Amino acid sequence: MQKLPIGIQSFEGLRTDDFAYVDKTKLIYDLIHNGKYIFLSRPRRFGKSLLLSTLKAYFQGKRELFKGLAVSELEQEWESNPILYLDLNVGMYTSKEGLEEALNSNLVDWEEQYDTKLNSNDAAQRFKYIIKTLAQSSGKKVVILVDEYDKPLIEAIDDEPLQQEFRSMLKAFYGNLKTCDEYIRFAMLTGVSKFSKISLFSDLNNLQDISLDERYADICGLTAEEIESTFGEHLEAFAQKEGMTKADIMEQMRKMYDGYHFSKTASKDMYNPFSVLNALAQCDFGNYWFSTGTPTFLVKLLQNGEYDLQDFSNGDLLASDLAAKESLRQEPIALFYQTGYLTIKRYEKEFGSYRLGFPNREVEQSFLKFLLPRFTGNTDNGASAFIEYFVRDLRKGDIESFLGRMRSFFASTPYELVRDLENHYQTVMFTICRLLGYYTKAEYHTSNGRIDMVVKANQFTYIFEFKFNKTAQEALAQIDTKEYALPFQAEGQKVFKVGVNFSKETRNIDDFIWKEA
């Protein structure tokens, strides 16, 4: 079997060291021959760096690296162009000096490599001089590739004054992509956040944004067909280890890592490449992508905003625009999409709006696990332990222990963490409900309304109704009046109806009642 390219961002290294490669070169060929200034937004770990590395090898004229790939049959003229490759992944952007140092480091490298230097400390002027001089001395136009153009902005997302400084510096620097047009052959910028509403790019009206272009929806990430054709032997090994079929493995892959959409039509389902490759390598369905970066700031935005967490799961979040505003803090839902925690579920053409939701099980389950302790004050391990005990209680049919443990869970929530008690309990209970659903089974909708929580565990089915500042008896009465138990009684399991009331005074469960259906 070919080696799996986990963390490999060098196209040349990948091709010369027997790593498997998913052939994206037809798309790359089309991109090069149909555009000059390109922008692409994708979440982290989706292959943006490898894409730029592939473009670099192409513009270096390294035809031998593309042997057997689609572009080898399409491209008739292979020529070498001078290349300026700017990688902003490297650097600490906690101050203005951090960005200055990162830009200066790249400029010094180019000045030494191409033996050209302008006697100035201005990064934008030096960049312009290098582009112009390099094109004139080589007799060939320059290729400019920028990896993670927005890394400084993302790292300073909670510091608006520093963001403003970064925007001013980068606006002047990237402005050369327009003023030096006659010297540029091709330019591509990649990042996480879309640029169209950021003044950083207000002068760059020549940039073609392909982030939601249906033609290039699969230029990063993996399709099901690509996984099966490129990694078939790895799938077979995974299936043998688990005692499953390849079809079973692919179905689990679909649930865990599929579901990303990068076009209005949402016609192409894209898999997260980082998670797929790690799952194949370890023969285990882990939460690989989520663990490489936690959305702490996004959770803060969620806590401070008036968002219904149920809408995240149901794909009911509305966004009129998926581009970043002048301040990335102004449009948190768009930022959730750009960073990969939400994806397009459908596009409402009539209103020009997007419906967003979690892309797959990995993101939803991991996000909710990460979210729970932030809303309750429990540590990550403590919250996870509670979920495990909750499941065990329900599998044993021990409702008293489950609700007693629930009381302990809410009792540990610090007073200052809760602003809106009713909304707080709804958020926490929904989160617990969803997490329990991964270990048991959760249902929400019936013809008579939405049940607060239904959990199936072993031979038991539990129907929960929650009230706030009312009575547990009222909650139980609602289950009876709306006949919530009726659809489950014919399934052969023991059905319990459970009414729970939360008290504003005690800030906890003050009363609960249950009976067998």
Pick the more confident residue, 430 or 334: 334
Q: Are residues 245 and 351 in the same domain?
A: no
| Interval 201-210 mean pLDDT | 82
Q: Last residue of some domain: 216, 243, 259?
A: 216
**Sheet (strand 494-503) strand order:** 442-446, 449-457, 460-468, 494-503, 508-516
Two tokens at 189? 């910028």
Q: Are residues 74 and 182 in the same domain?
A: yes
Domain count, the chain: 4
- Contact by Cβ (8 Å): 399, 514: yes
Q: How many CB atoms are closer than 10 A to CB 158? A: 13
**Sheet (strand 142-147) strand order:** 83-87, 142-147, 184-191, 37-41, 208-209
C-alpha–C-alpha distance, residues 347 and 363, integer Å: 21
SS3 425: helix
Residue 318: DSSP 8-state: E
Q: Last residue of some domain: 216, 249, 267?
A: 216
Q: Is the pLDDT of residue 319 over 90?
A: no
* Confidence band for 298, pLDDT divided at 50, 70 and 90: confident
pLDDT tens track for 249-258: 999 999 999 9
Segments forming the whole domain that contains residue 506: 377-516
* Confidence band for 128, pLDDT divided at 50, 70 and 90: very high
- Contact by Cβ (8 Å): 69, 81: no
pLDDT tens track for 144-185: 999 999 899 888 887 889 988 998 999 999 999 999 999 999
Q: Are residues 206 and 170 in the same domain?
A: yes
Q: Report the predicted TM-score, pTM, of the whole model to 2 decimal places.
A: 0.88
- Which position has the token pair 């690989």? 288
Of 355, 348, 188, 343, the closest CA to residue 271 belongs to 343
Q: Are residues 496 and 415 in the same domain?
A: yes
Q: What pLDDT is stored for residue 382 in this prediction?
A: 63
Q: Is 331 left (phi over 0), alpha (psi -120 to 50) or beta?
A: beta
Q: What pLDDT is stored for residue 386 in this prediction?
A: 81
Of 72, 24, 397, 13, the closest CA to residue 215 belongs to 24
Q: How many CB atoms are closer than 10 A to CB 385? A: 12
Rounded to 10°, the helix 160-174/96-114 angle is 20
Pick the more confident residue, 334 or 239: 239
Residue 367 in any domain: the answer is no
Q: Are residues 278 and 138 in the same domain?
A: no
Q: Is the pLDDT of residue 70 over 90?
A: yes
SS3 147: strand
Q: Is the pLDDT of residue 247 over 80?
A: yes
